[in-house]
Amino acid sequence: MRIVVRAHKMPFDAVSAEETLRRNSIGNNVGNLVFSQAVIRQLWRRDHTIERLTNLDVKRVQERADVVVIPLANAFRRSFIADLDALSAFIEQLEIPVVVPGVGAQVRLDHLGKRDEQVDNAVRRFVSAVLSGSPSIGVRGEFTRDYLVDLGFPDDAVDVIGCPSMFMFGPDLPPLRESPEITADHRIAFNASPYRKWVGPLSTQAAQRHPRLTYFAQDLKTLRLLVNGHYTGKALKQAPVTLDHPLIDQGRTLMCLDPATWISELSTYDYSFGTRIHGNITALLSGTPATVLSHDSRTRELADYHLIPHIQLTEDIVKTPAPELYAQSDWGPMIKAHDDRWQRYAAFFSRHGLRHTFEPDDSPAEFDRLLSAIEFPPPVRTLRNASLEELYALKQAATRPSKWSTTKARAVRWARERTKRIS
């Protein structure tokens, strides 16, 4: 079977930080690569060929594919209307099936129950186009299912299947490295949505309380800050979007550009918490316990469905240190429910005539072999707290041929300026 998958890049593409900024190969948030890679890994069978959907060229796609798979995140929202309409126009012209595994609606928690006619119309068009050639659409949770049913779609055409990212490794979740307790001596991973209320004081207090805490950034704007030194978005007070924020100024921020490096890096931490749903899912995929601080319907919906420990972000939660969040979290229900959630997800593929790599006649070994052979760029780190020895090492490295030399050259220029200021 020939499959075309919507993804911002294929899992085997190694893209530098500068190229990521130029191409936006993470779709504004590296979390997008986690669920698209999960879908590709799940479908990477010997009897399948998989290509990336590079543009919405109906003729080309129909010549090269038997089915189009479109993994989406929180696509049912106002800021995604233009993209959704473009996908709808594309699907309406296709004569091959379209499979959508795990789309979701997004509403702020203080806006639940409010409707947006423009969003409703775009969603109706998109779902109608998908269902015109496919038996169902896969959604993230009950909230999105109820929304589509309320729009007039039949309940049996809406499958609640969660997010593909939770099934990166199929029916099994990696064993969690749980500790009796979390203390200041433990390594803590923190993730945040810089544009959300309470994230500013949350990040500054987390930096003060936990000296071994690292901020794992995810978005394109913060990547630009780390690489070029400036943040182009709205800067909320105390949020980690300025060079003098303690998490950035102290060199306690990094950003992984690929799921493989992200999972590997998080596997060295003892606990993860924050507002990013895929930041915490990636931690769970690495075996690191994680707690979600929910702030909208999409984060709460996924956490509810997969039974990921979650607490609504409030002013009181800002004041709660990580050890207390850890003590309040129970990953037992999530682990126990995972097999049932996987069975539903696998049944969704079967309903659409798709076979997956975890069936008895196949395995993900070939995908994993190909992925392990790729030299991905290292996590992008802040350099403001680097020693002169480290800066000199960067300067020396930049004189040697390397596909990451552009990044190193930028670092050297910054190092020279910093050295001048010090002297």
pLDDT at 399: 47
Percentage of the chain beyond pLDDT 90 is 76
Same structural domain for residues 41 and 147? yes
Residue 275 placed within a domain: yes
Please state the rounded mean pLDDT for residues 355-370.
97
Same structural domain for residues 76 and 197? no
CA-angle at 340, arms to 335 and 342, nearest 5°: 90
CATH number at residue 151: 3.40.50
Residue 159 placed within a domain: yes
Same structural domain for residues 102 and 160? yes
Residue 1 contacts residue 48 (beta carbons within 8 Å): yes
Same structural domain for residues 253 and 368? no
Same structural domain for residues 307 and 345? no
Look up the domain containing 33 and give its range: 2-170+336-372
Residue 414 placed within a domain: yes
Same structural domain for residues 87 and 164? yes
Please state the rounded mean pLDDT for residues 223-227.
90
Same structural domain for residues 139 and 55? yes
The total number of structural domains that make up the chain: 3
Highest mean pLDDT among 229-238, 248-257, 375-384: 248-257
In this predicted structure, the answer to whether residue 337 has a pLDDT above a threshold of 60 is yes
Residue 378 placed within a domain: no
Same structural domain for residues 152 and 243? no
Q: What is the pLDDT of residues 273-294, one digit of tens each?
A: 999 999 999 999 999 999 999 8
Q: What pairs with residue 253 in β-bridges?
A: 215
Same structural domain for residues 343 and 394? no
Same structural domain for residues 10 and 156? yes
In this predicted structure, the answer to whether residue 97 has a pLDDT above a threshold of 80 is yes
Residue 179 placed within a domain: no
Q: What is the pLDDT of residues 72-89, one digit of tens each?
A: 998 999 999 999 999 999
Please state the rounded mean pLDDT for residues 410-414.
52
| Least confident span in 44-53, 107-116, 326-335, 337-346 | 107-116
Same structural domain for residues 157 and 20? yes
Residue 357 placed within a domain: yes
Task: Indicate left, alpha or beta for 49 from its phi (over 0: left) and psi (-120 to 50: alpha).
Answer: beta
Give the whole-angstrom CA distance, residue 77 versus residue 75.
6
Residue 347 placed within a domain: yes
3-state secondary structure of 137: strand
| Least confident span in 148-157, 259-268, 288-297 | 288-297
CB count in 10 Å sphere of residue 77: 20
3-state secondary structure of 32: helix
Same structural domain for residues 20 and 141? yes
Kindly report the pTM of this predicted structure: 0.90
Q: Which of 222, 286, 276 is nearest to 254 (CA)?
A: 222
Q: What is the pLDDT of residues 54-76, one digit of tens each?
A: 999 999 999 999 999 999 998 99
Distances (CA, A) of 146 to 57, 105, 125, 373: 33, 10, 17, 43
Residue 176 placed within a domain: no
Give the whole-angstrom CA distance, residue 53 versus residue 253.
32
Chain-wide mean pLDDT for the chain? 89
Q: What is the pLDDT of residues 121-131, one digit of tens each?
A: 999 999 999 99
Strands of 290-294's sheet, edge to edge? 310-312, 290-294, 271-274, 188-191, 213-216, 253-255, 380-381
